[in-house]
Amino acid sequence: MIDAQQFQVVFEEWVWAVNEILQGQIINLDGTGLRGSHDNRLAKRAIYRVSARATENEIVLGQRTVDEKSNEITALPELLKMLALSGCLVTIDALGTHTSIAAQADYVLSVKENQGNRFEDRSV
């Protein structure tokens, strides 16, 4: 049986090794709920993960599971810390407009009209 934590360490080392290939690529950050992972009997919500995907290489560079009592805003910084995204263009949805996240890379951020001041400001 493969040890999940050891696999993650080796996988992250491999991601760092191929990172030079990724310079200039578009990296998409997105959250996804894992279908069928909820359990109503045990009152457990679905597992939710945030992933970083290199669009040109079509590879997931890393993932972080969102804590059951949290949201993407806490998982995204953890994911960004493990990735070296210098020279890449990062796309993310509206949750990425949180200033602590947006300050970490060069982003294309999606902002909707229902986000009030952020929609009007456009300098986030």
Query: How are beta strands 48-54 and 26-33 bridged, if at all?
Result: antiparallel
In sequence order, the 6+-apart residues with CB closer than 8 A to the CB of 13 are none
Is 96 among the domain residues? yes
Is 8 among the domain residues? no
Is 6 among the domain residues? no
- The pLDDT score that the predictor gives to residue 86 is 75
Is 62 among the domain residues? yes
**Total domain count for the chain?**
1
* Domain containing residue 66: 17-121
Q: What is d(CA 93, CA 99) in angstroms, rounded to the nearest whole number?
A: 13
Is 33 among the domain residues? yes
Is 29 among the domain residues? yes
Is 3 among the domain residues? no
| pTM of full prediction above 0.75 | no
Is 1 among the domain residues? no
pLDDT in tens, 7-42: 988 887 887 777 666 677 888 888 888 787 777 787
